[in-house]
């Protein structure tokens, strides 16, 4: 199977051009310059990191499929097979095996750190494939008052070289396409032997100072900014300030966005009911499909804000500084400083935070972060806790309710930390290199590139996660509305009582009784499987209380007054506490599950998350219920 899917027959001269380079070498801007707007995430079987591909027209009219591999330090050595290095190496090897004409490798180098880049060049040349070198950041080099002799470099390494400023796209594009033509032309000559050279020696001989370069270099500027941003006192304070601002932006935007989406969904429902009448189909469309779609759209503003913020932090070089400052703290949990931003953002919403784990380079660490993120106390948990507390503990003191609320909040954090420690010793254990992270020079980000990536991330979220959410919402609707066969024989029962969910709730009741959950609560749990916010509304439906989520007092009174056949209260304080314990741990969020599925590209990890959060959640509920009863809260 060719890794570059194409709908037309390849013409002579068509090639795959693979971009490789160290992180921060300027690869993305080179990729954007050549491919323009045609970039999309390539679909390569078995490749677990995003590989961007785009098309370009070569000088000879041939079609070039340009592939942007993740940044890497080495092709020869990889700490792990699934690290960026491992993925890149197997990707190039497979291409060399399967493509008709050999792929062309373009290495992107930062000329201000040429000696480092040339170490990789030696490994690239050893592949025996046609190679071209693109030196970027001509502007930065110029600002530092230095110049590089491209011809001398080409002679020394035995491959064509071009120096570009990727910010002026047109000229960069022309120069690079010209380079591709030259490199491809060389490949057709028989000589593929690569000269051996000393990277540091070559770098010294081709880079020279020029007169008149009096501007402050990027290096000195970076040192000066670092003296402030990494200052032992000022640094952490600034970092916390930036993180608080980012967190507030993600957190606060959720509310108006959700309100807007809810208003839209309500409006859609009204229109639907008017046109279709009140029947099973209109209920399916409004409560199932529209509800699911509304959920997806409600996440969009958060996703966009977090993506743009992360791109900016990464592109300016600040993300590495933040990781430097907090690495020690996270090290105690088996994680590195790079996990900080995703874990913090999880407290606003796990869904964009799971996407944000892409900043974690170590694959095992990234997986750990993805698996514990569903436990963080996200913004959707807070109103749910509020309503459940309101419904079950309406007669308790405000102090009691506040204490429960605070305990719940920190239980989420604590459980995430404990789970991380456990996972690092079990499911995600194995050697992973402790923090070795490049501290790039500070740069001004290119607005267009940041916007493009934010757009790409958001649209992919809509497509990948949206379909799963709408699907699950539809299935859950059916479970709550479609009667089980034979239920028609009980005309006095409500539709909800005859549903598949109700019979499921009854069948597990003997088990869930251990936590004080009767079949009605179980139905609520089925209803909130996809979205924890739906718990109270579903409970309202099953208990015949209308608009329970907007007016929890009515449901609360109902819960208080409900009696068992023997006259004792059906729902005690212990049941409420057990239910909350379950809510802290269980991943009742199909959006999170869909996001995990998307980021890990397998159903194995989302299945593990569901299995472990539900079983630990249930165990905790049983424990809390039994203890609460033992101390007399029954």
Interaction site with another protein (CB under 8 A): 73-74, 76-79, 85, 112-116, 119-120, 123, 144, 146, 199-200, 203-204, 206-209, 217, 219, 222-223, 226, 230, 232, 236, 320, 323-325, 327-328, 331, 336-337, 431, 433-441
How far is it, in rounded angstroms, from Cα 238 to Cα 564?
57
Quick one: 166 exposed, middle or buried, by C-beta within 10 A (0-12, 13-18, 19+)? buried
Tell me how far, at minimum, the Cβ of 143 lies from another protein, in Å.
12
Tell me how far, at minimum, the Cβ of 429 lies from another protein, in Å.
16
Tell me how far, at minimum, the Cβ of 90 lies from another protein, in Å.
14
Q: Which CB atom, from 107 or from 415, has the smaller least distance to another protein?
A: 107
Q: Which CB atom, from 271 or from 433, has the smaller least distance to another protein?
A: 433
Alpha carbon 186 to its chain centroid, in Å, reads: 41
Bridge-based pairing state of the strands 104-109 and 131-135: parallel
Q: Rounded to the nearest 5 degrees, what angle is found at the Cα of 554, between the Cα atoms of 553 and 557?
A: 85
Tell me how far, at minimum, the Cβ of 313 lies from another protein, in Å.
15
Tell me how far, at minimum, the Cβ of 158 lies from another protein, in Å.
20
Query: Strand 15-21's sheet: what is its strand order?
Result: 40-41, 52-57, 63-68, 15-21, 104-109, 131-135, 161-163
Q: Which CB atom, from 52 or from 238, has the smaller least distance to another protein?
A: 238
Complete DSSP assignment for 267-334: HHHHHHHHHH-SSHHHHIIIIIIIHHHHHHHHHHHHHHHHHHHHHHHHHHTHHHHHHHHHHHHHHTTT
Question: Tell me, what DSSP letter sits at residue 160?
Answer: -
Tell me how far, at minimum, the Cβ of 422 lies from another protein, in Å.
21
> What residues does 162 pair with on adjacent strands?
134
Q: Which CB atom, from 440 or from 530, has the smaller least distance to another protein?
A: 440
Q: Which CB atom, from 127 or from 206, has the smaller least distance to another protein?
A: 206
User: Contact at 8 Å (CB) between 376 and 347?
Assistant: yes
Q: Which CB atom, from 134 or from 348, has the smaller least distance to another protein?
A: 134
Alpha carbon 521 to its chain centroid, in Å, reads: 32
User: Contact at 8 Å (CB) between 528 and 584?
Assistant: no
Tell me how far, at minimum, the Cβ of 318 lies from another protein, in Å.
13
Q: Which CB atom, from 182 or from 361, has the smaller least distance to another protein?
A: 361
Q: Rounded to the nearest 5 degrees, what angle is found at the Cα of 11, between the Cα atoms of 5 and 12?
A: 125
User: Contact at 8 Å (CB) between 46 and 86?
Assistant: no
How far is it, in rounded angstroms, from Cα 356 to Cα 305?
11
Tell me how far, at minimum, the Cβ of 472 lies from another protein, in Å.
41
Q: Which CB atom, from 199 or from 487, has the smaller least distance to another protein?
A: 199
């Amino acid at each position: 199977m060719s890794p570059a899917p194409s709908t037309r027959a390849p013409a002579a001269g068509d090639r795959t051009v693979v971009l490789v380079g160290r992180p921060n070498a300027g690869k993305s801007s080179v990729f954007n310059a050549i491919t323009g707007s045609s970039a999309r995430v390539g679909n390569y079987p078995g490749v677990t990191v995003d590989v961007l591909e785009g098309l370009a027209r070569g000088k000879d009219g041939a079609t070039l499929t340009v592939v942007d591999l993740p940044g890497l330090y080495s092709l020869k050595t990889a700490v792990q097979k699934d690290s960026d290095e491992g993925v890149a190496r197997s990707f190039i090897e497979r291409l060399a095996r399967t493509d008709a004409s050999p792929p062309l490798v373009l290495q992107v180098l930062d000329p201000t750190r040429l000696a480092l880049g040339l170490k990789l060049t030696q490994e690239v040349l050893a592949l025996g494939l046609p190679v071209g070198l693109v030196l970027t950041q001509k502007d930065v080099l110029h600002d530092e008052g230095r110049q590089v002799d491209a011809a001398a470099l080409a002679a020394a390494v035995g491959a064509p070289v071009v120096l570009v400023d990727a910010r002026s796209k047109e000229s960069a594009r022309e120069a690079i396409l010209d380079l591709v033509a030259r490199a491809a032309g060389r490949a057709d000559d028989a000589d593929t032997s690569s000269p051996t050279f000393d990277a540091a020696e070559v770098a010294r001989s081709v880079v020279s100072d020029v007169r008149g370069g009096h501007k402050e270099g990027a290096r000195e500027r970076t040192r000066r900014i670092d003296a402030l941003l990494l200052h032992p006192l000022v640094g952490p304070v600034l970092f916390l300030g930036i993180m608080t601002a980012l967190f507030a932006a993600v957190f606060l935007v959720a509310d108006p966005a959700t309100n807007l989406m809810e208003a839209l969904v309500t409006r859609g429902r009204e229109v639907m009911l008017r046109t279709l009448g009140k029947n099973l189909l209109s209920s399916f469309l409004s409560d199932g499909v529209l509800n699911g779609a509304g959920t997806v759209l409600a996440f969009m503003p958060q996703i966009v804000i977090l993506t743009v913020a992360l791109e900016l932090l990464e592109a300016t070089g600040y993300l590495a500084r933040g990781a430097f400052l907090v690495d020690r703290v996270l090290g105690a949990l088996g994680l590195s400083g790079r996990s900080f931003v995703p874990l913090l953002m999880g407290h606003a919403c796990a869904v964009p935070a799971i996407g944000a784990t892409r900043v974690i380079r170590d694959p095992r660490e990234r997986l750990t972060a993805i698996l514990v993120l569903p436990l963080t106390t996200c913004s959707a948990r807070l109103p749910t806790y509020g309503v459940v507390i309101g419904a079950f503990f309406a007669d308790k003191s405000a102090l009691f309710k506040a204490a429960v609320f605070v305990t719940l909040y920190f239980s989420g954090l604590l459980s995430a930390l404990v789970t991380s420690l456990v996972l690092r010793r079990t499911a995600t254990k194995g050697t992973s290199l402790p923090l070795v992270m490049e501290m790039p020079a500070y740069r001004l980000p290119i607005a267009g590139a940041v916007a493009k990536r934010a757009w790409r991330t958001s649209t992919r979220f809509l497509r990948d996660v949206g379909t799963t959410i709408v699907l699950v919402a539809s299935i859950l609707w059916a479970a709550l509305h479609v009667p089980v066969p034979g239920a028609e024989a009980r005309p006095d029962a409500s539709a909800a009582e005859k549903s598949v969910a109700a019979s499921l709730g009854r069948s597990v009741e003997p088990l869930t009784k251990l936590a004080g959950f009767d079949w009605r609560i179980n139905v609520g749990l089925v209803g909130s499987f996809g979205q924890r916010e739906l718990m109270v509304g579903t409970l309202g439906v099953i208990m015949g209380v209308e608009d329970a989520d907007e007016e929890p007092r009515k449901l609360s009174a109902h819960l208080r007054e409900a009696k068992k056949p023997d006259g004792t209260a059906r729902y005690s304080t212990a049941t409420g506490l057990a239910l909350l314990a379950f809510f802290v741990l269980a991943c009742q969020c199909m959006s999170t599950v869909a996001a995990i599925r998307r980021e890990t590209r397998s159903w194995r990890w989302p299945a593990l998350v569901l299995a472990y959060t539900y079983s630990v959640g249930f165990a905790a509920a049983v424990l809390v219920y039994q203890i609460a009863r033992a101390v007399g809260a029954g």
